[in-house]
Structure 1
């Protein structure tokens, strides 16, 4: 497996997408995101054959509009129900319950959106002319996520590996290449003790243990994935991720310190001298906004590119795939893009 993408070439696409999205009030984001995916997909290859992304900005845009219409419809329906109920009961409890119901429904839709977005992306991903796909239902994914989330909360976060591994296993076991299904055998229980150790040492190690855990999780997950005789074996090492992660953290902290420290010092001085509090610095506000806008570009150049490259180049694939046994699936996937997930994914892929 190989990755030959250009760090600054793809990083430039992130920057271009951000700038044109600002000019077009966010509309260009869908077309820019499509360009980024085509560049990254095409830079990743297996056995010398690159992947291909066939999605379009139009599909993403119309999926986004459908999500907006759905949220507005749900919000208006619940508002009317809550208002009528409150009028009948002569209380504001109806609107409060309607607001709670809206947030709960949006949370469930957000989980479903992750599954549906994965289905869309796989259906637009090809290798050697054969597209990938995702079967199963988003409803089952939502119900399972709710159950494991409640278990995670009840155990004060200890069972988070059960939740994350179940989600990953559900998606992989419903994925297929053409008509050939994938198989993932990972069990979250094997990651419980590494996660407990991470929870205990994340603070003292300034977050380094979190990076260690994610690398360990990735290696374990990938080592349990197979498809038609092929078996993956991820060999990513902590050092390949830790350096870029620390560099990104240092740059982020330095930028925010440079923006915030002068305002904090001015506020402390004003409090000491009983002077009126200083006005919020325009430079600070613009600086924070600029960094947030540039975060996807900076994140890819510093962290995303090296980690993607290392993940691909350390991924061993054993066995042999009989391509003659792989047939093109009749399921072409959803007609439009990721919908609600586009609202949640920010500047990501």
Structure 2
């Protein structure tokens, strides 16, 4: 245990180790038509978790690819039944996909069906988000002690929909409220061993973190409106560009500063507190440098691919254009594999490392009093998150 009573986060992962791992995972995922992704995601998580260190002890990820795959199969069956019931209800209401698309009424009915199905999936999407976080908590250990999270996925889904509607009717003004309340809902149900996390603070404090989001939206809307009134396409274009860039930077600023505020107002047990000091500038720099590296690599690949493609076309002749098409598909898949691996190595990992190395645990001596937590039950291994494609890379 740290003699100073605090633990500073460390990240020991390297690009040289992660890049070949990411490439092999992507290739095996393509070869197996996507089936290997459950095992691949597990391998990447194990690497990132084991590279995260506090007080000399690395985190451990104990999830398996098999349980993720089985969870996915169960979720697919459940989704098929759920959507089947939704379609039956729509059919009884006189709505079906057998509409005449050559009429305005048919097009309107088809759009209505699409949006109804999307809204019908919203509860499951939020349910999956909570279950995915609970699974990762249940499969994470540090110093041999398990993290955990109570059941509460449907409660989270109901709250997420409610706060989403509040954000919508307030034209976005209340989105910090939803963000804070939903994060508090999850944090207050989380544990490390037998010690419970508790999220403090006030949701109104997040308006400071959100200021650049609102400014960016204001510049975008006001600039376009003024440009439209003045009938100036140039002014509208400049306002749209400035507003969009400001908005994107604002979202990064919000994510960074809301993370800092939530961490600094979170407590574990009665004594353990946290501070976080990531910076917006560093995160933006990571994204810019990563994007530039990826752009250079893509440009080189396009140049080499163009040369190979041209040579193949000249050598194959008219009768063998199918081989040229195969070469084009292969080059496209190679580009996708490299882009996915480079995103993980040059953007995702440095961003994770920045947040971890700027995270501190205070009153760490109290960790010695925490006892082991019982094994979680009823954890579905992110099946719905994978089925709904909201699991992300890690």
Tell me the TM-score normalised to structure 2 length: 0.73
- Tell me which residue corresponds to 1:232: 274
Q: Is the contact made by 2:145 and 2:193 (CA closer than 8 Å) also made in structure 1?
A: yes
Q: Is the contact made by 1:120 and 1:334 (CA closer than 8 Å) also made in structure 2?
A: no
Deviation readout 1:99-151 (Å, 9 max, x if unpaired): 65543231110101010111111111111211111014111111111111111
Q: Is the contact made by 1:34 and 1:57 (CA closer than 8 Å) also made in structure 2?
A: yes
Residue 42 of structure 1: which of 20, 34, 50 is its match?
50
- Flag structure 2 segments of 5+ consecutive residues without an equivalent: 1-8, 100-105, 217-242, 303-324
Deviation readout 1:175-209 (Å, 9 max, x if unpaired): 00111101111433112244143332353547333
Residue 332 of structure 1: which of 376, 380, 389 is its match?
376
- Flag structure 1 segments of 5+ consecutive residues without an equivalent: 260-281
Distance 2:210 2:330 in 1: 38
- Tell me which residue corresponds to 2:284: 242
Larger Rg: 2
Q: How does 1:1-349 map to 2 (within 5 A)?
A: 1-86=9-94, 101-201=116-216, 203=244, 205=246, 207-228=248-269, 229-250=271-292, 292-343=336-387, 344-345=389-390, 348-349=393-394
Distance 1:286 1:156 in 2: 46
SS at match of 1:117: helix
CA RMSD of aligned residues (A): 3.2
Q: Is the contact made by 1:162 and 1:189 (CA closer than 8 Å) also made in structure 2?
A: yes
Distance 1:153 1:253 in 2: 36
Q: Is the contact made by 1:20 and 1:28 (CA closer than 8 Å) also made in structure 2?
A: yes
Instruction: Give the direction of change, closer, same or farther, for the CA distance of 1:328–1:94 in structure 2 (3 Å limit).
Output: farther
Deviation readout 1:186-242 (Å, 9 max, x if unpaired): 433112244143332353547333322322122112111221211110011233212
Tell me the TM-score normalised to structure 1 length: 0.82
Q: CA deviation at 1:287?
A: 7.2
Distance 2:30 2:135 in 1: 26
Q: Is the contact made by 2:129 and 2:390 (CA closer than 8 Å) also made in structure 1?
A: no
Q: CA deviation at 1:339?
A: 0.9
